Amino acid sequence: MSTRDRTELFSISEEVADAMATGQPVVALESSGVVQGLKYPLNLETALDIDRTIRANGAVPARTGVVDGRFVVGMSEAQVELFATTPSVPKISTRDIGSALASGGHGGTTVSAALVAADQVGIDVFAVAGIGGVHFDAQRSFDISADLVEFTRHRIAVVCAGAKSLLDPALTLEYLETQGVPVVGYRCDDFPAYYSTSSGQPNPRRVDDLDVLAAAIRLHWRVGNGSGFLVTHPIAAEDALPSDEMYALIHQKQAEAEKAGVSGPSLTPHILKAVSAATHGRTGAANRSVLLSTSAVAAELAVAMRERSALVGVS
């Protein structure tokens, strides 16, 4: 079988293609959360609300996923509903892309895989609730998310509410510093912790002005840096869960998972499901809140970055 060319591998929606061609701001999204995040129908409702939030703030949403063996950028509502109602759709990381495309099946993109797709079509802003990072006790397990590696490979601004709560925030920030990936808090001093407003670790920098933030990102790339740029913005305080309570619960569920022999790619969803059950669904409400807030900030940033590009004449 001959190798498929790029046009056969990628399917870009008409809306996203038009936006890219005319210089409109676009925000990339992942799709693994649709499959393995909130339960149906809340997962579908939240995904569609994210799209509406991005549009309401002046940008075009571009959810990525593998559908029928093609990388889709700008999933349709029908495709999102397919993922939301099919929990057997596997999530795919960077390492899984080739196999997923060759299989002719479906795949929900994680952050790392979504960044690959976004970079290939020229999208420079990405929104997600929480990034992957360095796991607790990584000195023993070497468990470090592929997300962090992909941040070093793509010139994309990633807007998030920090790292997922089951990760070590100090080690995650240390890794990002070593790799030269800027971490800037937008109107926040502390590095958030997904469900919580603070991880207990400070952001290396804070910026309160969106135009200044857009300029910082553009200039980071213009001088020759090839890495991404991490922008953190916390969950709304009224929707947040206490960080001490969350970290204690997560450590408990991690220990239980290890005793049960759960490891590898199954570990994170297993722990998140256990934590959700233990909090009687409070994490689900927090997850929805943070998805909408990071999407709104990402859209605003995408608009500011496009205006900045027009001002200085760079892409």
Is the per-residue pLDDT at 2 higher than 80?
no
Here the tokens at position 247 are 């970290």
More confident residue, 53 or 269: 53
Is the per-residue pLDDT at 138 higher than 50?
yes
Instruction: Give the chain's largest Cα–Cα span.
Output: 57
CA gap 290, 119 in Å, rounded = 24
- Output the DSSP codes for 251-284: HHHHHHHHHTT--GGGHHHHHHHHHHHHTTTHHH
CA gap 243, 22 in Å, rounded = 43
CA gap 91, 236 in Å, rounded = 28
Residue 251 has what pLDDT?
Answer: 87
Catalytic, 30? Answer yes
More confident residue, 242 or 309: 242
CA gap 169, 124 in Å, rounded = 25
pTM score of the predicted model: 0.93
Is the per-residue pLDDT at 53 higher than 90?
yes
- 253, 207 contact by CB (below 8 A): no
Residue 188 has what pLDDT?
Answer: 98
CA gap 198, 243 in Å, rounded = 7
Kindly name the residue from 81, 91, 150, 164 that is annotated as catalytic: 164
Catalytic, 14? Answer no
pLDDT in tens, 214-247: 999 999 999 999 999 999 999 999 999 999 999 8
Q: Is the peptide bond before 41 cis (omega within 30 degrees of 0)?
A: yes
SS3 311: helix
Can you say how many angstroms the Cα of residue 283 is from the centroid of all Cα atoms in its chain?
A: 17
- 169, 134 contact by CB (below 8 A): no
CA gap 14, 278 in Å, rounded = 43
Kindly name the residue from 30, 81, 150, 300 that is annotated as catalytic: 30
pLDDT in tens, 174-201: 999 999 999 999 999 999 999 999 999 9
196-202/190-193 β-pairing: antiparallel
Question: Using alpha carbons only, what angle is made at residue 269 by residues 266 and 273, rounded to the nearest 5 degrees?
Answer: 130
pLDDT in tens, 247-304: 899 889 888 988 999 877 777 778 878 888 899 888 889 999 999 999 999 999 999 9
Mean pLDDT, rounded, of the chain: 93
Is the per-residue pLDDT at 315 higher than 60?
no
